[in-house]
Amino acid sequence: MLISDSRRALFVHVPKTGGVSVGVTFKRTCPDARSKTPGVTPPLGRHAPYERILRAEPHVADYWSFAFVRNPWARMVSWWSMIHDWDLSHGPSSGKPQETATQMRGNDMWRAASRYSGFEEFVLRGTEELPRVGRPQVDYLRAPGREVDFVGRTETFDEDLAEVERRLGGEPTPVPHRNKSPHGSYRDYYSDASRAKVAEVYAADLEAFGYTF
């Protein structure tokens, strides 16, 4: 989540949709951008859904709001790749003392997911056991009676981010894609079972955005 009160703009950060790069553009265009709501404890967090943000700050309902989404099958592969890389460097598989590993970049969800045997289990079990992994992207974008004003896609990231920057009053400037996972085609990761599981869990995303495998 990022809010600019001067530009009356709100970025809803859906996990694993290029949000770090979007944040760079937002902060450059809106120097007053903030990620916290004064007086709210615990903090909303970087991936707070639109509905929760509006409950904490009702006045931002009138702000121009935007978010990015991603093909759910590709998103799951990117998510697993990030978690797997963290595990090899700092997690249970690294062999490092866990009191040290927990101080490294990562979170409770990553540590739980890193104990799965591989991508297949991450999809089949993670979508059931890890609330964030099993949450459709549309859930981040909607609040009672309303939804965010603009939804960009990682598949057309440069074009959509340029549109965001224009609407924020800036001049579109290329931004490197931060936290990009280096993996091959997402289709190569799936069995019939894991492919079907993603279609089931993210059915709302497929319907809303027309994504296909």
Domain ranges of the chain: 2-70+137-181, 72-134+183-213
- List Cα–Cα distances, 57 to 40, 122, 147, in angstroms: 9, 35, 15
- The model's pTM: 0.87
d(Cα 172, Cα 113) in Å, to the nearest integer?
37
pLDDT at residue 43 in the model: 83
d(Cα 116, Cα 112) in Å, to the nearest integer?
8
Alpha helices in the chain (DSSP H): 19-29, 50-56, 72-89, 98-101, 108-113, 119-124, 126-129, 138-141, 157-167, 192-201, 203-209
Strands 9-12 and 2-4: antiparallel
Per-residue model confidence as pLDDT tens digits over 1-51: 999 999 999 999 999 999 999 999 999 999 999 998 887 778 898 999 999
Burial class (CB in 10 A: 0-12, 13-18, 19+), 145: exposed
Per-residue model confidence as pLDDT tens digits over 105-127: 557 887 888 889 999 999 999 99
pLDDT at residue 139 in the model: 98
Rounded to an integer, the average pLDDT of 197-210 is 98
pLDDT at residue 108 in the model: 80
d(Cα 78, Cα 84) in Å, to the nearest integer?
10
Looking at the predicted structure, is the pLDDT value of residue 192 above 80?
yes
Looking at the predicted structure, is the pLDDT value of residue 156 above 90?
yes
Kindly state the DSSP code that residue 126 receives in the 8-state scheme. Answer: H
Instruction: Count CB-CB contacts under 10 A for residue 160.
Output: 19
